[in-house]
Structure 1
Amino acid sequence: MTTPAQPDGTAELDALRDEFAEALAAERADAARRLDEQRREFAEALAAEQDAAARADAAAGERERALQARVDDAEQALLRARDERGRIATELDEMRTQLAEVAADRVGADEAAARERSRADDLRRRARDELAAVADGEQALATALAAAEQARAELATRLQAAERGLTTDDTPA
């Protein structure tokens, strides 16, 4: 008398292994996509920050140089034409006010650049956190796969023991 073939759990284990592999691949692909997106956002933010800072610095520098040149001209004109002193002094005060505005604009540009740097730092921190979460997920999947492998090995051992037991019982006395 023969016994029907007993499932050895290999198909279920293969299906489970495939499922874990697909989940791991999907998680890795998703993490890579998120990381690429964060890298892109970081690069865009950094480029925007650098562009804005460069434009603000260039504009402020140009205005500062232009205003400083005007201040210099006004001071020399004051020495040459004392009779126009009142008008030139007023113009000089206006130019100093403009220089103060330029300095205030520059401070504002520096503050904006600091905010952009802070945002970039936040993006870097989030990317590190996501990478750590992916690593934790991979570790959990590897642990589950190892447990499934161990269960399969135990099932195969039991099945062999059961088959040996059935073979012994089938022999005529």
Structure 2
Amino acid sequence: GRLLIDASYCPVINVAVHVETLENGKESLILNIETNGTISPEEAISTASTIFADQLGSFIDIRNSVAPAEDQVLRPLIDPKLISPVEDLELTVRSANCLKAEGIKFIGDLVQKTEVELLKTPNLGKKSLAEIKDVLAERGLSLGMRLENWPPADIDLSR
């Protein structure tokens, strides 16, 4: 497209851009720069590149100021509720013992189980299942959730 203005003092009249694929699979950028003669096309691209680099500098400064320290490990954020022990759910003794016997220590372990899987647990019936579902729902959780990166590397599994 074109933008019509009443007067142009810009030394660059037109820029055409073309990308060619080379034999080695790489691409080559071809710029055809037409100027009014007050500056050369090389000088125009050099000036434009300098301005562009200066504009991007603010983003580089932001990235460096927000970058974590090298010793800080980047890991996905995990809802603290999921790292809590199952005891925090304050289930009945029967339900809590069934989960403990199955090796379900954390709420994150529990929410990944399906109803069918839990019903296969010895001594855990429909009443206990309903209790578990209700308690999880109160916390905005449900059975059958799929959690990526579970368990977290820094979780104490010996609890």
Name the one with the larger helix percent: 1
Relative to the length of structure 2, the TM-score reads: 0.27
Relative to the length of structure 1, the TM-score reads: 0.25
Q: Name which one, 1 or 2, has greater alpha-carbon Rg.
A: 1
Structure showing greater relative contact order (alpha-carbon pairs closer than 8 Å, 6 or more residues apart): 1
